[in-house]
Amino acid sequence: MQPLAERMRPTSLEDYIGQEKVIGPNAPLRKAIDAGHLPSCILWGPPGVGKTTLATLLAGALKRTIYTLSAVQSGVKEVRETLEMAKKNRMFNPQSPILFIDEIHRFSKSQQDSLLNAVEKGVVTLVGATTENPSFEVISALLSRCQVYVLESLESKHLQQMLEKAIEKDPLFKSKKIDLKETDALFHFSGGDGRKLYNLFELLISSENSDKLEITNALVTERLQKNLALYDKDGEQHYDIISAFIKSIRGSDPDAAVYWLARMLVGGESLEFIGRRLLILASEDIGLANPNALLMAQTCFEAIRVIGNPESRIILSQTVIYLASSPKSNSAYKAINQAMDYVQKTGNLPVPLHLRNAPTRLMKDLNYGADYKFPHDFPGNFVEQNYFPEVDKKPVFYTPGKNANEDKLAKINRDIPS
């Protein structure tokens, strides 16, 4: 017997639950489908929100052949063989078939490169599914040829519809008398993941021998809590633990930071997700107090992508301890935020003439670049001149943090001859 999630998989777009912003009436993708057109696209969203199902339904709605590859199981050879089949298909069908690649973020650069020509020439319409930010995981050449559609975690109303649909239509459940008296616990444990909701619901129903069942929060908690992992990388605890992890490093507590790292690693968290968070933290919370922190985080990120588990735990531990033990400063973070707020308030202030580029005679005649002073022609490679738009009062965005490295930077600025 198939799992409930498979038994309840929708067979048409009309039966598809959720993602109204993408596929609902007047949504961009729905308009394209209604017009008989499907652009190559990336479906980006957390697990269990219907990415694979949507790809299949899109092919059905357009009456297109669909080829499916899993990035976990397929290499360049499988990609090329599939593209050859797609080319042959085009001989008999003017519309390009759909090539669906699940977990496309797991494809290497060479695997993604092998898709470019076929996508560009329309041999296939690519539909990729990913749980990771495609800006980081999909090569720019391929990403530029695709629309990105963001799928969101299912809301309570969607999860409610799914349960009611299962009770009403599933052959094993519709003969039972199931009363959904309370659903908060089920929704909490599923974390907006439709597939997990169905798995938990099926586990709950199968654990009861009676054909009459009242679903309550207490019953759900009692039956399911024993079977839940210590760390749910797709649920609410995912966000709580990464928050504790970041705050421990920011608070300079290496022991706590390594503990939360261990919780994530044991729970199967994505190595690259952890690595990206460390990259952000290295600039946001350490910044100019120790510029080497960013280099350390970048080296760590590159290393874990090459090494993988289990050895990456050592590289991550080394990096986490280093970052937690580093002096802290958020001066760069505050500076760019203040500068962006200023830009929002003041708009597009004109660039002073002496700072403008003058590649043509006309620009030179208009005094572009006139009176610009080249700093290297002056003592100490410094000369006083205005580098800011003409305003009544020049704002100050960068205030050095109180740490040894920024004290040195401030001293250099003070010592520049005027």
Confidence of residue 229 (pLDDT cuts 50, 70, 90): very low
Q: What is the pTM of this model?
A: 0.56
Q: Are residues 192 and 300 in the same domain?
A: no
Q: Over the stretch 88-100, which tens digit does the pLDDT of each residue have? A: 877 777 788 999 9
| Residue 1: C-alpha distances to residues 6, 29, 143, 201, 348 (Å) | 10, 34, 39, 16, 63
pLDDT surpassing 50 at residue 196: yes
Question: Which of 198, 227, 256 is a domain's end point?
Answer: 227
- Tell me phi and psi for residue 132, to 5 degrees: -110, 155
Look at residue 59 in the predicted model and tell me its pLDDT.
Answer: 93
Look at residue 418 in the predicted model and tell me its pLDDT.
Answer: 47
Question: Which of 150, 165, 193 is a domain's end point?
Answer: 150
Q: Are residues 25 and 136 in the same domain?
A: yes
**N-term to C-term CA, the chain:** 82
pLDDT surpassing 90 at residue 299: yes
Q: Are residues 27 and 131 in the same domain?
A: yes
- The alpha-carbon radius of gyration of the chain (Å, integer) is 28
Q: Over the stretch 326-363, which tens digit does the pLDDT of each residue have? A: 999 999 999 999 999 999 888 889 999 999 998 888 88
Confidence of residue 204 (pLDDT cuts 50, 70, 90): confident
45 within some domain: yes
Buried b (16+ CB within 10 A) or exposed e, 345-383: eeeeeeeebeeeebeeeeeeeeebeeeeeeeeeeeeeee
Query: Which domain CATH number covers 92?
Result: 3.40.50.300
342 within some domain: no
How large is the average pLDDT for residues 302-321?
Answer: 91
Query: Which domain CATH number covers 162?
Result: 1.10.8
Residue, of 191 and 18, whose pLDDT is higher: 18
Q: Are residues 61 and 137 in the same domain?
A: yes
Q: Are residues 372 and 402 in the same domain?
A: yes
Q: Are residues 40 and 90 in the same domain?
A: yes
User: Which domain does 395 fall in, by range?
Assistant: 351-415
Q: Are residues 213 and 136 in the same domain?
A: no
Percent of the chain, pLDDT > 90? Answer: 45
Residue, of 214 and 92, whose pLDDT is higher: 214
Q: Are residues 26 and 139 in the same domain?
A: yes
Return the structure tokens found at 161: 């519809």
Q: Are residues 33 and 106 in the same domain?
A: yes
Q: Are residues 250 and 310 in the same domain?
A: yes
14 within some domain: no
Question: Which of 179, 196, 227 is a domain's end point?
Answer: 227
Q: Are residues 180 and 244 in the same domain?
A: no
331 within some domain: no
Percent of the chain, pLDDT > 70? Answer: 95
Distance between CA atoms of residues 112 and 107, nearest Å: 6
pLDDT surpassing 70 at residue 164: yes
Look at residue 236 in the predicted model and tell me its pLDDT.
Answer: 52
336 within some domain: no
